[in-house]
Amino acid sequence: SQQGEEDPQALSIQEGENATMNCSYKTSINNLQWYRQNSGRGLVHLILIRSNEREKHSGRLRVTLDTSKKSSSLLITASRAADTASYFCATDNYGQNFVFGPGTRLSVLP
Amino acid sequence: ETGVTQTPRHLVMGMTNKKSLKCEQHLGHNAMYWYKQSAKKPLELMFVYSLEERVENNSVPSRFSPECPNSSHLFLHLHTLQPEDSALYLCASSQDNTGELFFGEGSRLTVL
């Protein structure tokens, strides 16, 4: 299975701190995406990183990809209470459909 | 507002009922998806339609029946469901099946 696995499963930090979540996968990928989900709502796309890219930034988000280790990380800097949500990685294996990991539940305490 | 609308947002049904979930996308995408999200489990891909043809069916029980009458609409017909089918059902669309997914807000289904 190419399923992504995020860790940690849950993360609790104070507002203003940085949050780092990791994703590991098992097979070669075309791209890897990160999504966010507020409780009981739909998922929102955050960022896509292609297999030939090593790092991408979007606002307070920084994503890295290490294809040799089959892993990715999502860093949220200067976290806010509104960042409280579940974060998922999804891998795309060259046209096969996206497979999501179980997610990391992030709690940002004011 | 993501451009993907799901109705109803909440549905309670008995095991002998027949109901349908509806998804509509206003983004001009050519691929649509049904995902199931159960508590403490990863999102499970159920069905994929690309250019209105079903391209994936991940061993989903026949009590779930998808329908894609055109590229903007996707239905999930439900009949004789089980309590373990209670979950959040998420619809998504994308342009081609390798791009960014746009999700609806989901339909929360409870089977009694």
pLDDT digits (tens, 9 = 90+) for A17-40: 999 999 999 888 889 999 999 988
What is the token pair recorded at B3? 């451009």
pLDDT of residue A94: 65
Cα B77 to Cα B72: distance, rounded to the nearest angstrom: 17
Q: CB distance from A9 to chain B under 8 Å?
A: no
- For residue A3, count CB atoms less than 10 angstroms from its CB and return exposed for 0-12, middle for 13-18, buried for 19 or more: middle
pLDDT of residue A95: 60
Contact B105 A99 (CB under 8 A): no
Q: Is A52 left (phi over 0), alpha (psi -120 to 50) or beta?
A: alpha
Contact B90 A42 (CB under 8 A): yes
The phi, psi pair for A47, rounded to 5°, reads: -165, 145
Q: CB distance from A48 to chain B under 8 Å?
A: yes
Nearest to B85 by CA among B13, B22, B32, B24: B13
112 residues of chain B, pLDDT tens digit each: 779 999 999 999 988 889 999 999 999 999 999 999 998 788 999 999 987 788 777 689 999 999 999 999 999 999 999 999 999 999 999 987 667 899 999 999 999 9
Contact B101 A40 (CB under 8 A): no
pLDDT of residue A47: 96
Cα A83 to Cα B5: distance, rounded to the nearest angstrom: 24
Contact B42 A40 (CB under 8 A): no
pLDDT of residue A32: 93
pLDDT of residue B98: 64
Reported confidence tier of residue A1, pLDDT bands at 50, 70, 90? very low
3-state SS, residue A89:
strand
pLDDT of residue A96: 59
